[in-house]
Structure 1
Amino acid sequence: MIDKVVTSGTFSLDGGTWEVDNNVWIVGSADEVVVIDAAHDAAAIAERVGDREVRAIVCTHAHNDHIDAAADLATRVGAPILLHPADQVLWEMVYADLPYTPLKDGQVISAGGVDLTVLHTPGHAPGAVCLYGAEIGALFSGDTLFRGGPGATGRSFSSFDTIIESIKGKLLTLPPETAVYTGHGDSTSIGEEAGHLEEWLARGH
Structure 2
Amino acid sequence: MAARIERLVTSGQFTLDGGTWDVDNNVWIVGDDHEAVVIDAAHDAQAIAKAVGGRRLIAIVCTHAHNDHVNAAPALADLTGAKIWLHPDDMPLWRMTHPDREPDEHLADGQVIEAAGADLKVIHTPGHAPGAVCLHDPGLAAVFTGDTLFRGGPGATGRSYSHFPTIIDSIRDRLLTLPPETKVLTGHGDSTTIGAEAPHLQEWIDRGY
| 2:79 maps to 1:73 | no
After the TM superposition, which residues 92-103 of structure 1 pair with which residues of structure 2 at under 5 Å, given as runs? 92-100=95-103, 101-103=105-107
Read off the aligned partner of 1:85 and give its amino acid letter. P
| 2:167 maps to 1:163 | yes
Question: Corresponding residue for 2:63?
Answer: 60
- Secondary structure at the aligned position of 1:195 is classed as helix
Deviation at 1:98, TM superposition (A): 1.1
- Structure 2 unaligned regions, length at least 5: none
Deviation at 1:61, TM superposition (A): 0.2
Question: Corresponding residue for 1:200?
Answer: 204
Deviation at 1:99, TM superposition (A): 2.0
2:189 and 2:166 map into 1 onto residues whose CA distance is 22
- Structure 1 unaligned regions, length at least 5: none
- Secondary structure at the aligned position of 2:58 is classed as strand
Q: Deviations over 1:125-177 (max 9, x none)?
A: 00000000011100000000000000000000000000000000100000000
Question: Corresponding residue for 2:141?
Answer: 137
2:73 and 2:62 map into 1 onto residues whose CA distance is 8
After the TM superposition, which residues 75-154 of structure 1 pair with which residues of structure 2 at under 5 Å, given as runs? 75-100=78-103, 101-154=105-158
Read off the aligned partner of 2:183 and give its amino acid letter. A
- Secondary structure at the aligned position of 1:60 is classed as coil
- Secondary structure at the aligned position of 2:139 is classed as coil
TM-score using structure 1 length: 0.99
- Secondary structure at the aligned position of 1:167 is classed as helix
Read off the aligned partner of 2:58 and give its amino acid letter. R
- Secondary structure at the aligned position of 1:174 is classed as coil
TM-score using structure 2 length: 0.97
1:28 and 1:160 map into 2 onto residues whose CA distance is 34
| 2:157 maps to 1:176 | no
Q: 1:10 aligns with which of 10, 13, 28?
A: 13
- Secondary structure at the aligned position of 2:89 is classed as helix
Deviation at 1:97, TM superposition (A): 2.5
Question: Corresponding residue for 2:52?
Answer: 49
1:97 and 1:105 map into 2 onto residues whose CA distance is 26
1:158 and 1:148 map into 2 onto residues whose CA distance is 19
Deviation at 1:28, TM superposition (A): 1.4
1:4 and 1:157 map into 2 onto residues whose CA distance is 28
Question: Corresponding residue for 1:29?
Answer: 32
Q: Give the fraction of aligned pairs with identical amino acids, expressed as a percent.
A: 66
- Secondary structure at the aligned position of 1:135 is classed as helix
Structure 1 runs of 4+ with >6 Å offset = none
Deviation at 1:199, TM superposition (A): 0.6
- Secondary structure at the aligned position of 2:172 is classed as helix
